Chains A and B, each alone.
Chain A
């Protein structure tokens, strides 16, 4: 940036920085405001004062049996979705690495395509074919719908994490006579483990919060977002705020934990790397 020294660049930087944080505020203001309201003890939404903060409506959540059932269903669906998604995306990612460039583009578009299909259409299409096939709707059918949303995302996440793989390491191992499996377990897998962990956590969160694809596929038991959608439309009980608040906090916590896990793994790998170098 040699041509732009001095105050003009500094002003430009300051202006763009200020603007960027306003955009961040635009995205974060509503959920943060909702969180504030959720700690208000009154019946009508208002911002509580510091001395007035209350967990009253959070405690009230524990008495809502239907909500707790939905929460349990959502957690189970999310865990299964995360496991299946991660295994499938990992296999797909490994396949992608071995493909010719032409095949890669086609395969990438094919895997990512369901992300672009509107959830209503994808959910409806899947529910109709399942109904015709005589499948009973349950948590499993919800998993099937959620897969179509989480698989493309996790696939992309894993592909980015593959950038740490240097072909030479695996080739060296192969040259030394290691089998395909050994190369995978001893080299590939440890290197991409951070990607796998973040991919799995992202799948978990995507499934946990997905509404529209589940809407057509639930059996007798609603998932949490479906329950929440109903409660928000009915719109009277203040527990909506605490329910939304705790869901937001849980998701943010999950995201944070995934990040912490990633950082820990990276530092550990850094240590190991340095230990190897110094020995």
Chain B
């Protein structure tokens, strides 16, 4: 029992800090989202009204939410398509040296500025950017391509470049958990690479695919810099909408949007760990 008491003692600082800085503020935001805005005092009065939620689903705010979800979904799907062969190569084909180098290369972006990496895409995709100047100089185009930058295309490119590592690492985790003897058995029985991939590797890496897609989806859902730097003039995302709403001091509305997003994410995480082995995948991290 002392072991138990000690683990509670050791865990308490982390729990206290996270409760104070993350859970409590989010819980208050939830409560405040039902309060009523009082212009006289520039703050809210205790109440239980759904005004804020009504204005979330009304008007063009819903369009932004649906648009954001669509962009995040497409980004997650593309990241899975682009990332899976990379993880496959790293786990099944690469030498130990290549694997280490690639791991490090995919790790570095986590620790460099996403603002800078996103801004850098402007220089590549812009009217006078790397790609357009190449196309024009090579005589492939008379005029620079306009849709490369300040477009949904650019937003997807920026999001993918930012969050692809979030797909690759969970996939590698899942690959690492495959029992090698299953693959060998499939091959010894004369299975081609395609058959082994389809019947053994793909099903067994499904938790990694789900975890990676969930990560990318969640990161993209909350992103703002990519759209601010690369999106078109009218482009908005949930995160930008929240900032706009705060700027005009409509706190209950900002809180209602935030609450909806956070509850949706919690739901996703619960479904993920319940039915798709998310927690088991991560338990293997700590083994």
Contacts and interface: CB of A to CB of B under 8 A. Distances in A.
Given A20-B102, A33-B124, A228-B116, A120 B17 contact: no
Q: How large is the interface on A (under 10, 10 to 19, 20 to 34, 35 or more residues)?
A: 35 or more
B21 interface: yes
Interface stretch (B59-67, B140-148, B199-207, B257-265): B257-265
Contact of B112 (A26, A29, A144, A251): A251
B89 to A, nearest CB: 4
B130 A109 contact: no
Given A1-B187, A31-B120, A247 B28 contact: no
Contact of A147 (B21, B102, B187, B286): B21
Contact of A160 (B10, B246, B285): B285
Interface of B is mostly: helix
B253 interface: no
Contact of A96 (B116, B124, B193, B286): B286
A192 interface: no
Contact of A34 (B22, B119, B191, B225): B119
A125 B161 contact: no
A122 B242 CA distance: 12
B190 interface: yes
User: From DSSP, what is the main secondary structure of chain A's interface residues?
Assistant: helix
B223 to A, nearest CB: 8
B114 interface: yes
B229 A205 contact: no
B287 interface: yes
A234 interface: no
B111 A209 contact: yes
Chain B interface size, under 10 / 10 to 19 / 20 to 34 / 35 or more? 35 or more
B193 to A, nearest CB: 5
Interface string B245-287: 0100001001000100110010001000100000100110111
Interface of B: 3-4, 6-11, 13-15, 17-18, 21-22, 24-26, 28-29, 32, 82-83, 85-86, 88-90, 93-94, 98, 102, 104-117, 119-121, 123-124, 128, 130, 160-161, 164-165, 184, 187-188, 190-193, 218, 221-225, 228-229, 238-239, 242-243, 246, 251, 254, 258, 261-262, 265, 269, 273, 279, 282-283, 285-287
Given A9-B193, A209-B111, 7 more contacts: A94-B10, A95-B9, A95-B14, A128-B251, A202-B111, A211-B115, A252-B112
12 contacts: A31-B112, A31-B116, A91-B13, A95-B11, A117-B26, A118-B238, A126-B25, A147-B17, A211-B114, A212-B225, A228-B113, A251-B111
